[in-house]
Structure 1
Amino acid sequence: MDRILPGSIIIVGVIGLLILMVLGWRARGRRQSALATAAVPSDELLGELRLAVTGLYVSTTTAGAPLDRVALAGLGFRGRVAVSVFDAGILVAVTGEPKVFIAPDRVRSVGTSTWTIDRVVEEGGLVRLDWTLESEHATAAADVESFFRIEDPDRSSRLIEAITALSPPDGFSTPDQEGSLA
């Protein structure tokens, strides 16, 4: 009998925290509802496959706000990932999530990083892709940073080189990148 009241209080507290977490995630989704990823082109429009790598998708955050996770479909949850670089752009396929297509003109920079929201690795252990999400409002496009942990470090550098080769003629910058190859 002595343990029923404290146990009940703890259970109610845990349930309350879970409810608050769900409500917070849904509110984040509503705040980001104007943002959207580009439609994935058909296979014939993607062009030739330049490189495909596998690893872990870690996160996508708002640029300059490293704790502000993006909650869009295909980008909200971590998981196994296949990143493919085609002539037409980059295809990110997280297991169990919709595919995300990033056109070359949306890429701002690419390089390596050591940390993101809840992951710290060895120097240059994450591939960091800085790009711009589309928006329903022309003035509300969002710059974001996506982080990938590629299984083989050699493949990480090849991924960075393949994305850099997609660069538009005027190129893109590499602000705040650690060990950038661009």
Structure 2
Amino acid sequence: MERLLLTLLFVALFALSLYGMWRGWRRQAREQSVRVPPLPAVPEGLGEPLLESSGLYVATTFAGRWQQRIVTRGAGLRGPAVFRLYRDGVEVDRAGAPGFWIPRESIVNVHTARGMAGKVMGTQSLLVFTWRLRNGDRDVELDTGFRGDDLAEYRSWSEQVEGGARA
């Protein structure tokens, strides 16, 4: 009987913890939906990509705050993705989640990082796009992280994105 009570207590505490995490995620999404406008949709008729890489979409965070994940509008869902560079911007094509567009004129910086929103590695294994998203009369600066299958492609991404931004 004592063992059954302890087991039920453990199950109840576990369920309460899950409920608390779910409520916190929903509260954070509600608060962020005011600060972060919808992510841009991918435009039609882009043509052939200049560069394409597959890997893992890690997260989108507020710029410079690598642990403050954006959870609103589906941006907090980590998963397989393909990043494609076009003349006008970067397509983030996520499997099982809505994709979005990073316009080239919005990109501030492309760099590598060791970690972002719960994904930390010992090396500079993440490709991070810092970009501005228009929110009414002010911009919100975001970091979008990607862990590519081939880390050697990161140099090409940096050169192509930053070279095209200056052109």
**TM-score under structure 1 length normalisation:** 0.83
Percent of aligned positions with the same letter in both sequences?
A: 28
Aligned to 1:83: 83
CA distance in structure 1 between the aligned counterparts of 2:74 and 2:84, rounded to whole angstroms:
15
Q: Which residue identity lines up with residue 158 of structure 2 in the other structure?
A: I
Aligned to 2:155: 157
CA distance in structure 2 between the aligned counterparts of 1:165 and 1:72, rounded to whole angstroms:
32
**TM-score under structure 2 length normalisation:** 0.90
Q: Find 2:145's aligned residue among 141, 144, 147.
A: 147
The 4+ residue runs of structure 1 with deviation greater than 3 A are: none
CA distance in structure 1 between the aligned counterparts of 2:18 and 2:129, rounded to whole angstroms:
32
CA distance in structure 2 between the aligned counterparts of 1:20 and 1:128, rounded to whole angstroms:
31
Over the aligned positions, Cα root-mean-square deviation in angstroms equals: 1.6
Moved more, 103-112 or 113-122: 113-122
Cα offset for 1:168? 4.6
Q: Structure 1: where are the runs of 5+ without partners?
A: 170-182
Q: Which residue identity lines up with residue 68 of structure 1 in the other structure?
A: Q
Q: Which residue identity lines up with residue 154 of structure 2 in the other structure?
A: S
Evaluate the alpha carbon distance shift between residue 33 and residue 15 of structure 1 in structure 2; reply closer, same or farther with a 3 A threshold.
Answer: same
Q: Which residue identity lines up with residue 16 of structure 2 in the other structure?
A: G
Cα offset for 1:95? 0.8
Equivalent pairs, count? 165
CA distance in structure 1 between the aligned counterparts of 2:125 and 2:149, rounded to whole angstroms:
10
Q: Does the CA-based 8 Å contact 1:47-1:88 persist in structure 2?
A: no
Cα offset for 1:29? 1.1
Cα offset for 1:47? 4.1
Cα offset for 1:59? 1.4
Q: Does the CA-based 8 Å contact 1:32-1:72 persist in structure 2?
A: yes
CA distance in structure 2 between the aligned counterparts of 1:28 and 1:105, rounded to whole angstroms:
29
CA distance in structure 2 between the aligned counterparts of 1:80 and 1:156, rounded to whole angstroms:
17
- Please say if 1:138 is aligned against 2:140: no
CA distance in structure 2 between the aligned counterparts of 1:157 and 1:63, rounded to whole angstroms:
21
CA distance in structure 2 between the aligned counterparts of 1:41 and 1:157, rounded to whole angstroms:
26
CA distance in structure 2 between the aligned counterparts of 1:53 and 1:2, rounded to whole angstroms:
56
